[in-house]
Structure 1
Amino acid sequence: MSVWLPAAPCTPGACVEPAVPAAAVPRAVLRLTTVTILMLAGIVLAPLGGRIPAEWVRRWCRTIVRAIGVQVRVTGTAAPAGGMLLVANHVSWLDIPLLAAVRPARMLAKTEIRQWPVAGALVAGGGALFIERDRLRALPGTVARIAGALREGAAVVAFPEGSTWCGRAHGRFHRAVFQAALDAGAPVQPVRLRYRQEGGAVASTAAAFVGEDTLLASLWRVARTRGLVAEVDVRPPIDPGTHPDRRSLARAAQPVDPEPNWTHAALVTPSSTAPVTAA
Structure 2
Amino acid sequence: MNPWEVASPCTQRCVTRPTGNEQAYARTRRVPAASVLRRYASLTAALGSALAAGTRIADPSVLQRHARCVLGALGIGLDATGPLRVPGTAAGTLIVANHVSWLDVIAVLAVEPVPLIAKQEVSGWPVVGPLTRRTGNRFINRDAPRELPRFVGELAAHLRDGGSVMVFPQATTWCTAPGGPFRRAMFEAALRAAAPVRPAAIDYARDGTRSTAAAYVGGDSLAASLLRVAGTDGLAVRVRPCRTLWPHGHDRRSLAAAAHAAVSDAVSAPVLAPRTGVFRTARPPEATVPPQLRAHA
TM-score bracket for this pair, using the shorter chain length: 0.7 to 0.9
- Per the TM alignment, residue 79 of structure 1 is displaced from its structure 2 partner at its CA by 2.9
Q: 1:256 aligns to what SS in structure 2?
A: helix
Matched, 1:115 2:115: no
TM-score (norm 1): 0.86
| Equivalent residue number for residue 10 of structure 1 | 10
2:236 pairs with 1:229: yes
In the alignment, residue 3 of structure 1 is paired with which amino acid?
Answer: P
Tell me, yes or no, if structure 1 residue 140 matches structure 2 residue 149.
yes
Of 208-217 and 76-85, deviating more is: 76-85
For 2:140, the equivalent position in structure 1 comes to 131
Structure number with larger C-alpha Rg:
2
Pair 1:76–1:29, CA change in 2 (3 A): same
- Deviation of residue 164 (structure 1)? 0.7
Residues 164-188 of structure 1 deviation map (CA, whole Å, 9 limit, x = unaligned): 1111561100100000111111111
Match of 1:154 among 140, 159, 163: 163
| Cα 1:49/1:76, change in 2 over 3 Å | closer
Match of 2:103 in 1: 94
Shift of 1:124: 1.7
Q: Give distance in 2, aligned partners of 1:150 and 1:234.
A: 19
Structure 1 counterpart of 2:247, from 227, 240, 251: 240
Corresponding residue SS for 2:79: strand
Q: Which amino acid aligns with 2:63?
A: V
Supply the AA of the counterpart residue of 2:30. Answer: A
Q: SS at 1:65's partner residue? A: helix
Contact 1:206 1:222 (8 Å CA) reproduced = yes
2:39 and 2:164 map into 1 onto residues whose CA distance is 30
* Contact 2:177-2:201 at 8 Å conserved across structures: no
* CA distance in structure 2 between the partners assigned to 1:263 and 1:156 by the alignment: 28
Counterpart amino acid of residue 256 in structure 2 = A
CA apart distance, 1:116: 2.3
Given the superposition, is the C-alpha separation of residues 101 and 168 from structure 1 closer, same or farther in structure 2, using an over 3 Å criterion?
closer
Tell me how large the CA RMSD over aligned residues is: 2.3
Q: What residue in structure 2 maps to residue 274 of structure 1? A: none
Which residue is equivalent to 2:23? none
Per the TM alignment, residue 246 of structure 1 is displaced from its structure 2 partner at its CA by 0.6
**Are 1:48 and 2:56 an aligned pair?**
yes
The reply to whether residue 20 of structure 1 matches residue 28 of structure 2 is yes
Paired positions, count: 264
Cα deviations by residue, 1:43-86 (Å, 9 ceiling, x for unpaired): 33241355x3x334323212211210111101377533461111
Structure 1 contact 168–204 (Cα < 8 Å) conserved? no
Q: Secondary structure at the match of 1:178?
A: helix
Identity of aligned residues (%): 39
- AA aligned to 1:73 is D
State the partner residue of 2:283. 268
Q: CA deviation at 1:128?
A: 1.3
Name structure 1 gaps, 5 residues minimum: 271-279
What amino acid sits opposite 1:170 in the alignment?
A: G
Greater alpha carbon shift after TM alignment, 257-266 vs 157-166: 257-266
Corresponding residue for 1:187? 196
Q: Which runs of 5+ in 2 are unaligned?
A: 18-26, 274-279, 286-297
Q: What is the DSSP-based 3-state SS (H/G/I as helix, E as strand, rest coil) of the residue aligned with 2:109?
A: helix
Instruction: Give how far 1:97 is off.
Output: 1.3
**For residues 199-214 of structure 1, what are the structure 2 equivalents within 5 Å?**
199-200=208-209, 203-214=210-221
For residues 111 and 57 of structure 2, the distance between their equivalents in structure 1, rounded to whole angstroms, comes to 17
Q: Post-superposition shift, 1:146?
A: 1.2
1:114 is displaced (CA, Å) by 2.0
